[in-house]
Amino acid sequence: MIKVGIVGGTGYTGVELLRLLAQHPEVEVEAITSRSEAGLCVTDLYPNLRGHYDNLTFSEPDAKRLGACDAVFFATPHGVAHALASELLEQGTRVIDLSADFRLRDAAEWAEWYGQPHGAPELLDESVYGLPEVNRDRIREARLIAVPGCYPTAVQLGLLPLLEAGLIDAERIIADCKSGVTGAGRGAKVPSLLAEASESMKAYGASGHRHLPEIRQGLGDAAGRAVGLTFVPHLTPMIRGIHATLYGRLTGSHDDLQGLFEQRFANEPFVDVMPPGSHPETRSVKGVNLCRLAVHRPGDGDTVVVLSVIDNLVKGASGQAIHNLNLMFGFDENAGLAAPALMP
Ligand SMILES: NC(=O)C1=CN([C@@H]2O[C@H](COP(=O)(O)OP(=O)(O)OC[C@H]3O[C@@H](n4cnc5c(N)ncnc54)[C@H](OP(=O)(O)O)[C@@H]3O)[C@@H](O)[C@H]2O)C=CC1
Ligand SMILES: CC(=O)N[C@@H](CCC(=O)OP(=O)(O)O)C(=O)O
């Protein structure tokens, strides 16, 4: 049994960590922080967790208390993990950061996209990008994990087989992506209001979104060269879910794209390549740590269309964070992550 802490326990990814960890046989949640709810019992804020965390209370973030844990998850806005990670690592605590603080290898690029100086550039060399389907062996050895973003997870998993095999034009990739409103966090914001978000849909960040450099970095690694990517996110009237429709122009010849995808993910417990002709739905991954993919080649032409769905809060955040924890501590990869999706 290991002890873990969660910084940012009142947010959507924080409560999702609690929900999933409640079924984890090897983990006990020792500390959970919130500045606004310090002193409140977790089950008073989240009654769905009654019977699981009845003695757990939110407390102010405290490096000493968190440093007594084997691992700490950061489910906080950008910049918070920068400030605390070093101190925790020095105390021997492993850090799994759900924010974007350690995802980009280049501190100057991070500062440009996040509008603030990078707060811990000295840690960038050792941080490991926590996409298990790419970095499984490095994750096992890591002390500091940067959990991929939600859109970047859906897009990279959908394009990796094609780029690794050199089958599409790396200069002209299109990722047309839709997210549910929990992607924007639990804080009150006008675009997330029921009357603003329901029965409507809109693109945002079309000229440049902060996930663009992260996705380009990962796809560039897969392709072995810089990629040209158009990425347009949309806000849709659903609570959870990401749907990515990915377009590439085939350059290499390959008769069996379905087989290519099935082979690439054959040993991956959290990627499901669906049968030919499928159209995966976001509700089929609701609440589970799974990316479902379908590959299409309309009219047998030179365009390949990949459909990729995840739950932004699970495979796009908290579930993937727990998968990383399982690898770092040598647990069964499925621990805490085995339940099937909610339907409907
Ligand atoms: N929502 C999603 O789908 C995804 C989110 N992420 C990332 O995960 C992180 C958390 O997201 P989400 O759960 O949606 O965010 P929320 O806005 O829902 O929650 C943020 C949490 O962080 C705490 N917090 C805020 N500021 C600070 C601070 N300065 N120091 C310590 N704690 C702080 C808040 O509690 P309090 O203010 O009371 O301390 C709250 O518990 C973000 O970086 C987000 O980008 C990643 C993938 C998907
Ligand atoms: C709908 C919505 O607002 N989504 C968020 C992305 C989700 C997220 O939390 O971003 P990270 O994965 O980088 O942490 C956004 O566009 O900024």
Name which residue sits closest to atom 1 of ligand 1, judged by CA: 183
CB 311 within 8 A of CB 20: no
Residue 25: count other Cβ atoms within 10 Å of its Cβ. Answer: 9
What's the pLDDT tens digit per position in 148-161?
999 999 999 999 99
The mean pLDDT value for 123-145 works out to 98
Can you spell out the DSSP letters for 109-132? HHHHHHTS--S-GGGTTT-EE--H
Query: How far, in Å, from the CA of 76 to the mean position of ligand 1?
Result: 3
The tokens describing 217, both together, are: 């970095």
Query: How far, in Å, from the CA of 61 to the mean position of ligand 1?
Result: 13
Residue 63 has, within 13 A of its CA and on its CB side, a CA count of 13
C-beta 162 within 6 A of ligand 2: no
Query: How far, in Å, from the CA of 252 to the mean position of ligand 2?
Result: 34
What's the pLDDT tens digit per position in 79-93?
999 999 999 999 999
As a whole number of angstroms, the distance between CA 193 and CA 205 comes to: 19
The tokens describing 76, both together, are: 């906080």
Q: Which domains does the chain have, with CATH numbers?
A: 2-126 (3.40.50.720), 150-312 (3.30.360.10)
C-beta 149 within 6 A of ligand 2: yes
Relative to the CA of 9, which ligand 1 atom is closest?
41
Indicate the average pLDDT of the chain: 96
Nearest ligand, measured from the Cα of 80: 1
Q: Which residue ranges have their beta carbon within 6 Å of ligand 1?
A: 7-14, 34-37, 61, 75-78, 80, 98-99, 149-150, 182-183, 185-187, 312-313, 316-317
Residues 6+ away with beta carbon under 8 Å from 238: 180, 181, 282
Relative to the CA of 184, which ligand 2 atom is closest?
3
Ligand 1 pocket: which of 10, 13, 114 to mutate (most atoms within 8 A of CB): 13
Question: Is the pLDDT reported for residue 341 higher than 90?
Answer: no
Residues 6+ away with beta carbon under 8 Å from 263: none
The tokens describing 85, both together, are: 């990670």
As a whole number of angstroms, the distance between CA 240 and CA 61 comes to: 28
Q: How far is CA 4 from the centre of its chain?
A: 19
C-beta 150 within 6 A of ligand 2: yes
What's the pLDDT tens digit per position in 171-216?
999 999 999 999 999 998 998 999 999 999 999 999 999 999 999 9
Question: Is the pLDDT reported for residue 344 higher than 80?
Answer: no
3-state SS assignment for residue 249: strand
108: left (phi over 0), alpha (psi -120 to 50) or beta: alpha
pLDDT at residue 340, as a whole number: 81
The tokens describing 30, both together, are: 């020792």
Q: How far is CA 270 from the centre of its chain?
A: 13
Query: How far, in Å, from the CA of 153 to the mean position of ligand 1?
Result: 18
pTM here is 0.97
Q: Torsions phi, psi of 248, nearest 5?
A: -140, 155
- Residue 281: burial class (beta carbons within 10 Å; 0-12, 13-18, 19+): middle
Relative to the CA of 204, which ligand 2 atom is closest?
16
Angle, helices 211-223/150-164, rounded to nearest 10 degrees: 20
The mean pLDDT value for 44-64 works out to 95
Relative to the CA of 77, which ligand 1 atom is closest?
43
Relative to the CA of 99, which ligand 2 atom is closest?
14
As a whole number of angstroms, the distance between CA 231 and CA 166 comes to: 20
Nearest ligand, measured from the Cα of 316: 1
Catalytic residues: 150
Residues 6+ away with beta carbon under 8 Å from 63: 84, 87, 88, 91
Q: How confident is the model at residue 252 (pLDDT cuts 50, 70, 90)?
A: confident
Nearest ligand, measured from the Cα of 15: 1
